[in-house]
């Protein structure tokens, strides 16, 4: 599985795979193996967060990666924040999609009966 396109040294990037998670019904939790990779233009202490929860922190790193089993019900926002100030560096979102289809109309809207 390829995680991202090419990154140059000046890029700040946070790449997640997959970017979408499909569930059978709305409100159902999504479980998926997440592969997260990040890169910064300069080394700094950062923490990886999923919504409000801290997953992992690194000291004076310019790049890193993280893998884990995610279980989310809402679209999850993954972010890198500065470990000391809490300032947002970069973020991205895991989108949830449902397989539940819309109900079909049994008769046409323009019916006279």
List the domain boundaries for the chain: 16-98
Q: Name the CATH topology of 16-98.
A: Immunoglobulin-like (2.60.40)
104: which DSSP letter?
P
**Is the predicted pLDDT of residue 4 greater than 50, yes or no?**
no
pTM for this prediction: 0.73
* DSSP string computed for 19-80: SEEEESSTTPPEEEEEEEEEEEEEEEEEEEEETTEEEEEEEEEEEEEEEEEEEESSPEEEEE
pLDDT 10s digits, 7-29: 444 578 999 999 888 888 887 88
pLDDT 10s digits, 16-74: 999 888 888 887 888 889 999 999 999 999 999 999 899 999 999 999 999 999 888 77
């Amino acid at each position: 599985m390829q995680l991202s396109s090419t990154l140059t040294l000046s890029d700040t990037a946070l790449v997640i795979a997959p970017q979408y998670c499909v569930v059978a019904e709305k409100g159902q939790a999504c479980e998926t193996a997440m592969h997260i990779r990040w890169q910064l233009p300069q080394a700094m202490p950062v923490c990886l967060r999923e919504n409000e929860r801290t997953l992992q922190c690194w000291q004076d790193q310019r790049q890193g990666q993280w893998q884990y089993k995610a279980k989310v019900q809402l679209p999850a926002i993954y972010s890198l924040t500065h470990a000391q100030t809490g300032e947002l560096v970069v973020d991205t979102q895991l989108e949830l999609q449902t397989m539940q289809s819309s109900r079909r109309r049994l008769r046409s809207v323009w019916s006279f009966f």
